[in-house]
Structure 1
Amino acid sequence: MRVRVLFFGRLKDITGCAEDWAELDDGCVVEDLFARYGRQFPALAAFRPSLVASVNEEFADWRAPLRAGDEVAFLPPVSGGTSRDFGTAIQDDIYEITRQPIRSAEIVAALKAPGDGAVVVFDGIVRNNSGGRETLHLEYEAYEPMALKKMREIGEEARKKFPIHRVAIVHRLGKLDIGETSVLIVVSSPHRAAAFDACRFAIDILKRTVPIWKKEFFRGGAVWVEGEIPRAPEGSTKPFSTPDESTS
């Protein structure tokens, strides 16, 4: 059988490719597929304890069986599009991945409604330093279909947990300069407490589970910035326990 294999972040650097096709015997599981690449790229094998896998855009157990045509992605720890016209009010939540500057004010205006008593905004921006080094700029990449799916799941889960009205989650990819917005989360609600809680919940879970990675460029080099390993308990595709990390 033939499966499509995707690599992201540092794994892409190790293998020298973002995408590959693998021929496997029937009955192979995710672990077998990874072991095959691990033998080819020993540096990749060393990352096994800190990786998670996905099959067809859902987190998967390493023992999950594979079928012909599956899309398998190996995901390093996440670094903790299409343009839309936000000039007029819309009725739906907003989930976007874009390579254009995020128009925060327009998105906030689009989410407001007469019944809202509060709008809480998390505007994550690129800072000029990290780990004692001067940051020149960042580059973000994502497993885009899965990232959008997980962003929607976060919004849906926030709606279940808190009495909120609307949600917007927007993340930018590509090169970002100092001071630019990398991620925007907006929550509207009749009451401020729910809006604050839901916004904090959304950014915490996004930083932990959405497959987006950033590369930091500084004088003399560049590094992939890896945060927490996405936690996908056996039998679960929605790891929604809240972590401590909440900064961009």
Structure 2
Amino acid sequence: MLNVFVVSLKRSVHRREKISKEMAEKNISFTFFDAVDGSLGIPELALDYDYAKRLWLTSGYMPSKGELGCYASHYALWVKCLEMGEPIVVCEDDITLSENASSTLSLALEKVQHYGFLRLEEVELGSPSVPVEDLGSSTISLMKDNYGGLRSYAISPKAAMRLVKHKWYFPVDCFVGANYIHGQYSYQLSPCLVESHGQYESTIQEPKVYSKSRTPIYRKPSRELYTLYKKIMLSLMYWKKRKELKVR
């Protein structure tokens, strides 16, 4: 499985040692993909970031360098997927693999050809999903959204093409979940590849620090309207796909 990439900063030696040991124990071949280090400055891939939409429609404040580096890293891997012309699996370097990781990876690379995007970690608590294919020992479910991290997923070239066409203005996981923008639905393969995650703090993206003073109050109306629009569109897309797939 040479189509497995682990996103990791070059300087994250301990993390690389840990994930290398995990992969070896599960007999999985993989390649480290050097993450874009946002601490070194704004990545070249982010030069066309849509800051107006970011400020007036989403968070209301400028993205951090770490967030840009995280987005640039995943974006670069989507481009890599297009260049290869084959599906790939992307993992972050702080995951713990499940017992059946090798067979899960093989299945993911097979099934993602049809579904486009397969989440290989647990769905966030409260995020709706519905089973669409029973594979006996595994299940593929349609997700209403895909917010809450991109620690492990499989993606096809067709899906990657849909994602790279758009300017950035969301955090990368929120963008992937926004199917009303790019048309790519998110699915989850269960049991998951990832048993657990988050043993370490993120090295690519610094921890979020929330402050009431960060977002000017005059941007609140446009942000709330867009949040409402987003919720409506996600619901419409979800029920449209469920009807198309004939699942309740």
What interval of TM-score do these two structures reach, taking the shorter chain for normalisation?
Answer: under 0.3
Q: Report the structure number with the largest CA radius of gyration.
A: 1
- Select the structure that is richer in strand: 1
Pick 1 or 2: higher relative contact order, CA cutoff 8 A, min separation 6: 2
